[in-house]
A and B are shown apart, each in its own frame.
Chain A
Amino acid sequence: MKIAFYKNPLFILGILIIATVFISSIYINKNYTPKPPSYWVYNHSGLVIGTNPQKPSSRHLLGTNHFGADVVTLLLLGAKFTLTAMFIIGLLRVFLSLFLGFLLSTIFKPLKKLVYPVVDSLHFAPAALIIYTITAPFLIVYSWAFDNHIKTFFIYFSLTLVALPSISLFISDEIDHLRKEEFIQSAKLLGGGIFHQIRNHYWPHLKPKLIILVTQHFIQIMLLFAHLGLLGLFLSGTQVGAVSTTTTLGSVSHQSHENGFTFSGNDWGGMLAEAKNDFMLYPWLIWGPCLSFTIVILSLTGILESFKSNFKFRRKRHRKRSELGKPAVISENDFIPEIKTGT
């Protein structure tokens, strides 16, 4: 099927959902005035009818948190931070590893065979656990001994670092694969300079793969946020360890020291962390962030699928024919080696 990706209904749906969430998040962040926190729920005549957090009802679709704030509003408030962090980390991962992959297939080419098994060690541990053990000394256990800037820097840094080796190997493989192609060889023979080759011959072939890679990593990062949130690690603040401190990052929209958390924004990972802490008492609180992660991941998957089908169509025209004269069937799993990566 020859559908350009922007005409694919999956792509349109996915982009629409993400854009709606993001834009409404920006709008709400501008116009939000927090209510004074209260533990009691009052009716119109000022009588106490219940306590916060409330169960999901028609007035509050996903319930309220400990301070009486509506969970849906909080989720929309936090969407901006979560999605921006996702974009930043995803793009950082791919750009840095583009550079590293280029180095691996040029200067460090002889070492590449040795790098493979070393990177293989990452496939025997959950990435969330690796990130947790790197950052937890700064963010949770000894959180009082470190500066806030370092904490913020470190969580972005480790989220980027953990994926760099495998992506750079992937990109380096792609470059090596392209180098063997005829058109690169002839470009070299005809005297094309290295920058000319990169711009005109490597880049057009790398671009679609990089776009797919970035989208895959957006999905992976969202999964990682969810996993790390359940482990009590998130972007917008820290879980306080042994001692309660008064550290806050940026502007404080709400604090919950009783639960051992400090917040600066309402990013979804943090909400998941808080909900996980109260999972026994208020199990419905976990559904809000969990559902929003699911919705964003599903729409990203729709976008990814539309890219993949578009890319497949392009590649089919270039493919060699098999011996029997009919085109060889390429299954969907063929061109991106990983089906799904552990996070």
Chain B
Amino acid sequence: MYKWMTKILHFLLTILGIFMISNLPYLFIENFKPVQMILTMIYSGELNNGSFLYSDVGFKPWNYFHHMYMTFLDLFHLTGQTYFVLGHQERVFPTFFNDYLYSMIIFCGALLLGVIFSGILSLIIILLPLRLKNFIKIFFKLMQSVPDIFLILVIQGLVILFIQTTGWKVFKVYGGYNDPIYALPMLCLALLPTIFITFFLLGLLEDQENELYVELAKTKGIRKSMIYIKHIYRNVLGSLFIHFKSIFWFTLSSLLMIEVIFGINGFLFFIYRYAPETPKLMTFALLMIFIPFFILFTLIQAFLEKKGMLSHENSLL
């Protein structure tokens, strides 16, 4: 019971943190309204220049708290919310939610593919001879430190080169407004968690190799691959889960890059386009990311703890 109470406290405090992050612009600017009205007039052609206006910037905690409260109130009538686009207000919700679903399909698909790929890859690599294994590990280490935009651009370039030379359209490289693309961005995004989880799993698996239960299993004459599949992977799952959160985080930031590079109308791209004018979009988006994944992580954690795979000292949340 106590554990669940702390969980709920954690949940509420993180939501407080989300409000604090997403309302940060209001901590420095007080009067967004007049500036926004001038922007509206510029878009409608009544003005062609805003240089006469000078806004000052300062430290405005009361304005900040006030806007946190206002955003909180906005949560209770979500359907009526509007955002500022090219000089007029439009409704947030049907569009935003569709974009969210689209992005989440790519994101969750990529994470899932990453976990599956890296499970298979690490099993193959660990059974290879030692020299080859070390070589592959160095390769993965190198791939891990290369920035994600470089990898994304290389893959995109290679796919385009492939299509140009052979003329065989394996993937759709671009999407229109009504026919979104899934396969290429998902595979591109899946590559990054695959590299990280594989490298991480290799380290964990090698640590487990010297454990007593593995030696016992070996003396009983069980095949090496079976030992890995049946015993070691199960013990590694807990530590993998603990690190999964940072993998989640950088995959999310790569998702933004993929949406920008591929020109996908995803929901992170939506925030990127419209959140500077309407900061409450950021709050909605962060809550929409946080709530489902927090629940998912908590359920997985509870499951792993029940199975005894998670030692108590390194609990995640």
Contacts and interface: CB of A to CB of B under 8 A. Distances in A.
A65 B259 CA distance: 25
Interface of B: 9-11, 13-18, 20-22, 24-25, 28-29, 32, 35-36, 38-39, 42-43, 48-51, 53-55, 57, 142, 144-150, 153, 157, 196, 200, 203-204, 206-207, 210, 243, 245-257, 260-261, 268, 271-272, 275-277, 279, 282, 285-286, 289-290, 293, 317
B203 A129 contact: no
A133 B275 contact: yes
A120 B317 CA distance: 9
A343 B192 CA distance: 14
A293 B17 contact: no
Q: How large is the interface on A (under 10, 10 to 19, 20 to 34, 35 or more residues)?
A: 35 or more
Given A142-B35, A333-B200, 10 more contacts: A121-B290, A140-B276, A145-B55, A223-B148, A227-B257, A231-B272, A243-B48, A297-B147, A332-B203, A342-B253
Interface string A330-343: 01110000111111
Contacts of A128: 253, 256
Contacts of B29: 137-138
Interface string A268-307: 0000000010010001001100110110011001000000
B243 A339 contact: yes
A248 B49 CA distance: 16
A130 interface: yes
Contacts of A122: 17, 21
Interface stretch (A30-38, A74-82, A87-95, A111-119): A111-119
The 7 closest A-B pairs by CB, nearest first: A121-B17, A342-B249, A126-B253, A136-B276, A342-B250, A117-B13, A118-B17
Chain B binding surface SS class: helix
A59 B257 CA distance: 32
A144 interface: yes
Given A121-B21, A145-B55, A227 B253 contact: yes
A163 to B, nearest CB: 13
Contacts of B247: 339
B50 A145 contact: yes
Nearest to A140: B276
Contacts of B13: 114, 117-118, 120
Most buried by A among B149, B150, B317: B149
A287 B157 CA distance: 11
A74 B292 CA distance: 45
A333 B146 contact: no
B201 to A, nearest CB: 11
B51 A144 contact: yes
B243 A129 contact: no
B131 to A, nearest CB: 18
Contacts of B144: 340
